[in-house]
Homo-oligomer: A and B are copies of this chain.
Amino acid sequence: MKKTQIILLSSVMFFCSICSAQTGNDFKPATSNQPGKQYPQVNSEGRVRASILAPQALKVQLDIGGKKYDLTKDEKGVWMGESLPQDEGFHYYQLNIDGASVPDPGSLFFYGAGRWGSGIEVPAHDRDFYALKNVPHGLISENIYFSTLTNAWRRCFVYTPASYYTNTKERYPVLYLQHGSGEDETGWAVQGKANLIVDNLIAESKAVPMIIVMDNGYANKPQDQAAIDNKTRPVSLFEEVMINEIIPMIDAKFRTRSDKDHRAIAGLSMGANQTIRIIMNHLDKFSYIGGFSGTPNYPSTDVIDPASFLEGKFKDGTAINKQLKLFWLGLGTKEPNPFPGSVGAFRAMLDKQGIKNIYYESPATAHEWLTWRRDLKEYASLLFK
B137 touches A140 (CB 8 A): no
- Partner pick for A98 among B54, B103, B114, CB 8 A cutoff: B54
Q: Tell me if A97 is interfacial: C-beta within 8 Å of chain B.
A: yes
Stretch at the interface among A143-151, A272-280, A299-307, A312-320: A143-151
B139 touches A140 (CB 8 A): no
Tell me the bound Cα distance from A104 to B101 in angstroms. 10
- Partner pick for A58 among B56, B108, B114, B141, CB 8 A cutoff: B56
**Closest B-chain residue to A57, C-beta based?**
B98
Tell me the bound Cα distance from A143 to B97 in angstroms. 38
Residues of B within 8 A of A143 (CB): 137, 139
Q: Tell me if A109 is interfacial: C-beta within 8 Å of chain B.
A: yes
B165 touches A146 (CB 8 A): no
Q: Tell me if A253 is interfacial: C-beta within 8 Å of chain B.
A: yes
**Closest B-chain residue to A157, C-beta based?**
B142
Q: Mark A168-199, 1 if CB is under 8 A from B, else 0.
A: 00000000000000000000000000000000
In A109-166, which residues have CB < 8 Å from any B CB?
Answer: 109, 114-117, 132, 134, 137, 139-146, 153, 158, 165
Tell me the bound Cα distance from A82 to B374 in angstroms. 47
Q: Tell me if A234 is interfacial: C-beta within 8 Å of chain B.
A: no
- Partner pick for A100 among B53, B108, B153, CB 8 A cutoff: B53
Q: Mark A77-109, 1 if CB is under 8 A from B, else 0.
A: 100000000000000000101111111110011
A53 touches B254 (CB 8 A): no
Residues of B within 8 A of A62 (CB): none
Residues of B within 8 A of A99 (CB): 53-57, 77
**Closest B-chain residue to A146, C-beta based?**
B134
Q: Tell me if A59 is interfacial: C-beta within 8 Å of chain B.
A: yes
Q: Taking A108-B116, A109-B109, A165-B254 as contacts, is the C-beta distance between A100 and B57 under 8 angstroms?
A: yes
Residues of B within 8 A of A103 (CB): 102-103, 105, 109
Tell me the bound Cα distance from A253 to B97 in angstroms. 48
Q: Taking A105-B103, A115-B34, A132-B153 as contacts, is the C-beta distance between A97 and B54 under 8 angstroms?
A: yes
- Partner pick for A102 among B95, B134, B146, CB 8 A cutoff: B95
Q: Tell me if A52 is interfacial: C-beta within 8 Å of chain B.
A: yes
A165 touches B57 (CB 8 A): no
In A7-52, which residues have CB < 8 Å from any B CB?
Answer: 34, 36, 52
Residues of B within 8 A of A104 (CB): 102
Residues of B within 8 A of A97 (CB): 54, 57, 97-98, 100, 102
Known pairs A34-B116, A102-B102 / 14 extra A-B pairs, C-beta < 8 Å:
A53-B99, A53-B100, A54-B99, A57-B99, A58-B58, A97-B102, A103-B105, A109-B109, A132-B144, A139-B141, A139-B142, A141-B141, A165-B253, A165-B254
